[in-house]
Chains A and B, each alone.
Chain A
Amino acid sequence: MQENLSHCNSELISRYYDGELGQAERSRVESHILVCPSCNKILEDLKGISDQYGVHLTHQSVGIDTQETEKHVLDRLRREKAPWWAKAKDTFLSKKILFSATATAGVALLLIAVLQAPVPDSPSAIVTSVSGDVSSIIILEAPETRQTILWFNERPEGQGL
């Protein structure tokens, strides 16, 4: 003989109503409903909701696009439960990120091309001293632009060191 339910369980009644219980649980709920007015009322309410929606609503009469709603929820749930690499892939393939990534890659390639431009083998200018007497030379190196700046001071003719 099946043991009766020790307390009311609304969700269990709902599962019973939907035929989602096994034989043993179903028997226990059936026995309980016979003697429990509140659970009997819950069952009646569940039937009432199903009857109202079953009779009056069809896919066409429902004011919302059920297929679109289902698709939307399915997509959202799949995204939430997807592994991190799938999320990363989706995020990267979204138009906004893809555009930004492409633009950044383009700028980076341009910079690399500029920085790796061949350094001229010969100087771009040759400075010669008129008197051949130079008192000081300053050499400035600019490694970022790969330029060498040569600044020298030419002593006027007739002046000694």
Chain B
Amino acid sequence: MYQKKELEKSLNNGLNSLPEEARTIFILRELEGLSYDEIAAQLNLRKGTVSSRLFYARQRLKEFLERDQGEE
């Protein structure tokens, strides 16, 4: 059984494996609940860039977690 502590460690590792900008966008969206427009304004990026970086971050996290949790 995947323990809570191990899961948190895995999630943390996944987050840390992301490029800095993608990680920040993901955090601003998932933890802060900001909209694409708000993230774009804060980071001085285009809305389309926020959308693609966020999608990329989620894809990377999904792959990382599948790989990491599959190894346990």
Residues of A whose CB lies within 8 Å of any CB of B are 10-11, 14-15, 18, 20, 45-46, 48-50, 52-54, 56-59, 61-64, 66, 69-70, 72-74, 77-78, 81
Q: Do A14 and B24 contact each other (CB < 8 Å), given the known contacts A49-B62, A57-B11?
A: no
Complex: chain A residue closest to B21, CB-CB: A73
- Nearest-CB distance from A68 to chain B (Å)? 11
| CB closest chain-B residue, reference A72 | B20
A contact residues around B23 at 8 Å (CB):
64, 69
Number of A-B contacts (CB under 8 A): 82
Q: A14-B55, A59-B31, A69-B24 known; 5 other A-B pairs, CB under 8 Å? A: A45-B58, A50-B30, A52-B11, A57-B11, A61-B12
Contact of B11 among A20, A56, A73, A81 (CB under 8 A): A56
Question: Is there contact, CB below 8 Å, between B36 and A73?
Answer: no
Instruction: State whether A49 touches B27 (Cβ < 8 A).
Output: no
Residue numbers in B under 8 Å from A57 (CB-CB): 8, 11-12, 15, 31
Residues from chain A with a CB closer than 8 A to the CB of B42 are: 74
Q: Is the CB of A18 within 8 A of B36?
A: yes
Interface centre among B15, B16, B27 (most CB of A within 10 A): B27
Please report whether the interface of chain B is mostly helix, strand, loop or mixed according to DSSP: helix
Chain B: residues with Cβ within 8 Å of the partner, total of: 31
Residues of B within 8 A of A63 (CB): 12, 15-16
Give the docked Cα–Cα distance between A10 and B51 (Å). 11
What residues of chain B lie closer than 8 Å to A48, measured between beta carbons?
62
Q: How far is the CB of B17 from chain A (nearest CB, A)?
A: 11
Listed by A's residue number, 30 A-B pairs whose Cβ atoms lie within 8 Å are A10-B55, A11-B52, A14-B54, A14-B58, A18-B54, A20-B36, A20-B51, A49-B62, A49-B65, A52-B7, A53-B11, A53-B30, A53-B31, A56-B7, A56-B11, A57-B12, A57-B31, A61-B8, A62-B31, A64-B23, A66-B31, A69-B24, A70-B27, A72-B20, A73-B20, A73-B21, A73-B24, A74-B42, A77-B21, A77-B44
Q: How far is the CB of B36 from chain A (nearest CB, A)?
A: 5
Which chain A positions have C-beta within 8 A of B8?
56-57, 61
A45 to chain B, nearest CB (A): 5
Which residue of the partner chain A has the closest CB to B54?
A14
